[in-house]
Amino acid sequence: MELANELAYMTVAELSTRIRRRELSPVEVVEAFIHRIEERNKSINAFVYFGYEDARRRAKDAERALMSGEEIGLLHGVPTAMKDLFDFYPGWVSTFGGIKAFKDFVPDFYCVYAERIEKAGAIILGKTNSPVMGFRGTCDNYLFGPSRNPFDVSKNTGGSSGGSAAAVADGLVPIAEGTDGGGSIRIPAAWCGLYGYKASFGRIPFVTRPNAFGGSMPFLFEGTLTRTVEDAALGLSVLSGYDPRDPFSVDEDVDFMAALRRSIKGWKIAYSPNFDVFPVDNRVSEVVANAVKAFEEAGAHVEEVKMGIKRNQRELSDVWCRLIIPINIEFFENFKQQGIDILKDHRDDLPPQYIEWLEKGYRMTILDLIRDQQIRTEIHDAIQNVLEDYDLIITPTVACPPVDNADDGNTVGPTHINGEEVDPLIGWCLTYFTNFSGHPSASIPAGLIENKLPVGMQIIGKRYADADVLAASATFERIKPWYDIYKICESRPI
């Protein structure tokens, strides 16, 4: 289908504008993207649930609304995808990251992303792959297998929002949902050459029940993966805003689109090549160090800094695992009350590293939790102290290039970088520090390794200064545009 190829790499901004002008029909747009998914998804395993019937119905409704002159939303008729984790759509299966015991579990309520993105007029085409409970920085599971990187299908996408990242990079949708509890938006953005945005904590509601406070340890986030900064700002515009169901929800209106036009001339930017603690692959370091120069071209002052973090990176990755595992235990205990005992009856659904952390979690004491929260505070304070003197912090997003996919459903990251041992689940990700702290942070494409594998650069702003992160990102995009890299994905064999 010729239209499918024509629309594949059209931005959200252009698609929505052309639909609004009636140059494109929501029905033909949705059909074009469904055709592309059917043609290309098998080779990358991005989508794991296909909601075509609902999408076609909504496309017809969108077309009627458009033709009758009804008031329409900012993303009217734009196709999107949602993640198969804690992301719910009535009547659609949720497996919580490929847990076989939940392959027939169908919720009857919406998550925030589905609720708000549909209110803005977008049309969800299906759900994308994720690792079990999102508990790693790669994307693989026993039920669906790995999501394969469109830049090199032998490599992983990163996770946990890996299916969403693959879908956007391969032109299957222009925008997709990610959630981020340790870097799950930014990690796959880095490996798939995308812009992944994690807003300030509370900016986009994250609704959890029966425990409304479950999304704070560490901070959990909803967000998007896109190919441009402008598209991320559009997504943030419709997803942000107060929700009384979230006790941390922020009631503040921000013009995120206006931020894209701001200058960063005179800004002070702190550059940390490794957060003081992470070993970083030399190829990644070289790309990011070169990319940082773009901010100087824009008139900002960039200085390399020490973060003042004294902890070992192995200790810190363990803290992240211990902080997030209680949410996982609570989840399984809730289902146990409904007659589904995962650890007793469905252990084979879970990878061994995850089972090990669940068992550690059950043995944790209140003193362990107190100590971990104190270490988390040290990281918060280190970031906050630097941002007292600087407008932004720049780091690599992840410490290594994309890893090879495993063939057993259990792809993990590297065990060593530059000869130093790292936790293969998340110890190579420079992302989880802002899940400890709540600061806004984005991964932006910084360049390529070996002319084909993307490298991400992380931009961190002050709490609630999301507009600053977007302004710096848009400036970088103008100086070092990356859109040509998707030709690598488009030209791969399918």
Active-site residue flag, 237: no
What's 483's DSSP letter?
G
> In this predicted structure, what is the pLDDT of residue 66?
97
Residue 375 amino acid letter: I
3-state SS of 326-393 is HHHHHHHHHHHCCCCCHHHHCHHHCCHHHHHHHHHHHHCCHHHHHHHHHHHHHHHHHHHHHHHHCCEE
What pLDDT does 190 receive? 99
DSSP-assigned beta bridge partners for residue 50: 126
Can you give the pTM of this predicted structure?
0.98
The CA distance from 206 to 248, in Å, is 8
What integer pLDDT is reported at residue 53 of this predicted model?
Answer: 98
What is the per-residue pLDDT across 96-131, written as a single tens digit (0 to 9) for each? 999 999 999 999 889 999 999 999 999 999 999 999
pLDDT score, position 217 = 83
Buried b / exposed e over 351-366, threshold 16 CB at 10 Å, is: bebbbebbeebeeeee
Catalytic residue among 184, 200, 240, 473: 184
Q: Phi and psi at residue 233, in whole multiples of 5°?
A: -65, -40
Query: Of 484, 179, 466, 489, whose CA–CA distance to 327 is shortest?
Result: 179
451-460 per-position pLDDT tens digit: 899 999 999 9
What pLDDT sits at residue 73? 98
Residue 149: what pLDDT? 99
What is the C-alpha separation between 101 and 170, in angstroms, rounded? 30
Instruction: Please state the domain count of the chain.
Output: 1
> Is 155 an active-site residue?
no
C-alpha pair distances (Å), 219 with each of 204, 231, 251, 358: 12, 24, 18, 19
pLDDT at residue 310, rounded to an integer: 94
What does the alpha-carbon distance between residue 75 and residue 234 come to, in Å, rounded to a whole number? 8
For residue 83, indicate whether it is catalytic.
yes
| Nearest in space to 409 (alpha carbons), one of 12, 150, 124, 142 | 142
Task: Compute the distance between CA of residue 31 and CA of residue 79 in angstroms, rounded to an integer.
Answer: 10
**pLDDT tens digits, 65-95:** 999 999 999 999 999 999 999 889 999 999 9
Task: Considering only CA atoms, give the Rg of the chain.
Answer: 21
pLDDT in tens, the chain (494 residues): 789 999 999 999 999 999 999 999 999 999 999 999 999 999 999 999 999 999 999 999 999 999 999 999 999 999 999 999 988 999 999 999 999 999 999 998 899 999 999 999 999 999 999 999 999 999 999 999 999 999 999 999 999 999 999 999 999 999 999 999 999 999 999 999 999 999 999 999 999 989 999 888 889 999 999 999 999 999 999 999 999 999 999 999 999 999 999 999 999 999 999 999 999 999 999 999 999 999 999 999 999 999 999 999 999 999 999 999 999 999 999 999 999 999 999 999 999 999 999 999 999 999 999 999 999 999 999 999 999 999 999 999 999 999 999 999 999 999 999 999 999 999 999 999 999 999 999 999 999 998 899 999 999 999 999 999 999 999 999 999 999 999 999 999 98
Q: Cα-flanking dihedrals φ and ψ of residue 223, to 5°?
A: -175, -165
**Cα diameter, the chain:** 64
Q: Give the three-class secondary structure for 137.
A: coil
- Which residue in the list 83, 127, 198, 462 is annotated as catalytic? 83
Indicate which residue of 16, 130, 147, 160 is catalytic: 160
- The CATH number of residue 212's host domain is 3.90.1300.10
Q: Taking Cα atoms as reference points, which of 393, 427, 11, 429 lies closest to residue 189?
A: 429
Q: Which range marks the domain in which residue 178 is found?
A: 2-490
Q: SS3 of 196, please?
A: strand
User: How high is the pLDDT of residue 177?
Assistant: 98
Tens digits of residue pLDDT in 218-232:
899 999 999 999 999
* Burial class for 401, CB neighbours closer than 10 Å (0-12, 13-18, 19+): buried
Instruction: Select from 227, 187, 234 the least CA-distant residue to 8.
Output: 227
